[in-house]
Structure formats: C-alpha cells, structure tokens
Amino acid sequence: MVSVGRGRLFKRKDQKYLIYLPKDLAEDSMFPLKTDSSMPIKISFKIGSDKVTIEKWEEKEEEQE
C-alpha cells in the first residue's frame, strides 16, 4: 500500500499549472480518486496554510458556487 508519494507542481509555458501524482500512489487500491482518463476535481487551501486539499468535484457543488 502506498499512501504517500512525491509529486510535483509544474507551470507550463502557456501559464497553466499541472500537478503530477506518482503512478504508484494514484493506482494504489486505497487511493480515493478513481479514473481511467480524467475527472473534475476541487482544489482548496486555507489562507496561511501550506496544505492543499484535492477532492472529487461533485455536480451539486458547481451549482452552489
């Protein structure tokens, strides 16, 4: 079981950002986000914190914002 991995945040030349997750982490059977190609996600943080939360984006959340 892999519950920790070293990823990376990239800034592309087109000014978009990508977050890389190690394959072993993302394909672990206990990894909470499952997808074969791509999926909408919600990324959030608390001001003053160095932690980021990534979770599956639920359609009902889109309606609230």
Q: What is the per-residue pLDDT across 9-47, written as a single tens digit (0 to 9) for each?
A: 999 999 999 999 999 999 999 999 999 899 999 999 999
Q: What is the pLDDT of residue 11?
A: 97
From the centroid of its chain, how far is CA 52? 9
Asked if pLDDT for residue 65 goes beyond 80, the answer is: no
Q: What backbone torsions phi and psi does residue 58 show, to the nearest 5 degrees? A: -95, 140
**Residue 9, H or E segment:** strand 8-11
Token output for 64: 């609230």
* 53 three-class SS: strand
Domain boundaries, the chain: 8-64
Query: Is the pTM above the cut of 0.75?
Result: no
Q: What is the pLDDT of residue 63?
A: 58
Distance in angstroms (rounded) separating the CA atoms of residues 35 and 33:
7
Nearest CA to 41 out of 62, 60, 55 is that of: 55
